[in-house]
Amino acid sequence: MGHLLSTFSKISWYPFSDEPVIRSIWYMPRLCDPFFLFPEESPDGKWHLFGHTWVGIEHFISENGISWEPRKMVALRGHSPSVYREDGVYYLIYEKHNASPPAFNKGRLRRREQEKISYSRFEMRSSTDLVLFSEPKIILDSREIPFAADGLKKPRISRPQIIKDRGGYRLYFGASHLKLPDTQQKTSRYFALAISSSLEGPYALANEGEPLISPYADDPFRSMAVGSIKVLPADDGFIAFECAMSWDKEHAKTTSVLLQLESSDGLAFKPSMRSVLLSPPQQGWASRYIVSCDVHYKKEEGCWYCYYSANSKHGYYPVQESIGLLLGKEPTLRKVFM
């Protein structure tokens, strides 16, 4: 990777624009949980971005990372996509928590056993071109996660992300969820880890079966919920970007911030020694909550890209969630000639 944990604390982040790079539109008013690939990582030399709406997982492509065009729907009713690459194969991992639509066979309605499944689970589909994907395979069942049902009638897992580590695989994810009391915004309650020696599982809970991160009433940033967390490997540990949810006592409302965390072992995370990376502005498209993000380093530019989803609400109109872009640079010393 070429990045130490100490490097991340030096990065200066700034918004690419005051406007989103992918704005919500009438048929996808809430575009959430972005995950993206640089041209050098993709099979066709283009930028690729996946996100979900109330309909399912949407796939976008771009020539420059700024102007995006919708390509196709990838997984109907899928949520929180991420992509893992290995040996030229792209693995799309996402949450599914309702049944697939029934299929028709010879003019008659046919419902397979798989289509009856309606519990929250992680599915994986593979592709070599990001156009055609295999049939889904379940890699983790929410009913196997004891704390995934905390506060809920049915267990829920969300926001899966796979990292290869020392010959095995780490599956980071959110578990359980809650609705914030004043806005009904849904967010992940816990952050957890499951591990496997095989990419397709089975995955078993790490950390002695307990969440890695939980909300804490006196925590200034996650008193309500952990929210979305994205983990990146570093040369000497792991770095994480958390969209944490808390109660703002001064304004008597819930709010969110984008934080930077770090860990030497990928189990115990602590806040990095730096200020909050991003807070919701007073007005505009991101004024309600910073909801989720994805972060990667573009080596030839020496620049970090952070696509994030955020939302706003105006009067009686539905909540609008779009995707913005933060850019990160490490300050370099300049020579001064006397």
What pLDDT band is residue 100 in, cutting at 50, 70 and 90? low
pLDDT at 24: 84
What average pLDDT does range 223-241 have in this prediction? 97
What pLDDT band is residue 198 in, cutting at 50, 70 and 90? very high
pLDDT at 104: 43
Q: Which tens digits make up the pLDDT trace of 12-64? A: 999 999 999 999 877 677 999 999 999 999 999 999 999 999 889 999 999 99
Q: Give yes or no for residue 107 having a pLDDT over 50.
A: no
Beta strands in 27-135 (DSSP E): 32-37, 47-52, 56-62, 68-76, 78-86, 89-96, 103-105, 108-110, 121-127
Q: By three-state DSSP, how is residue 291 classified?
A: strand
Q: Where are the domains of the chain?
A: 5-304+315-329
How far is the C-alpha of 289 from the C-alpha of 109, rounded, in Å?
Answer: 42
Q: Give yes or no for residue 188 having a pLDDT over 90.
A: yes
Task: Give the number of C-alpha atoms closer than 13 A to the C-alpha of residue 4, restricted to the C-beta side.
Answer: 3
Assess contact for 38 and 62: CB atoms under 8 A. Answer: no
* DSSP, res 6: H
pLDDT at 101: 54
How far is the C-alpha of 35 from the C-alpha of 309, rounded, in Å?
Answer: 10
Give the torsion sign (CA, 37, 33, 312, 272): negative
Q: Which tens digits make up the pLDDT trace of 66-85? A: 999 999 999 999 999 999 99
DSSP H helical segments within 242-312, as ranges? none
Closest to 17 in 3D by CA, of 62, 65, 52: 65
CATH superfamily of 5-304+315-329: Glycosyl hydrolase domain; family 43 (2.115.10.20)
Q: Which tens digits make up the pLDDT trace of 214-227? A: 999 999 999 999 99
Closest to 178 in 3D by CA, of 190, 170, 169, 186: 186
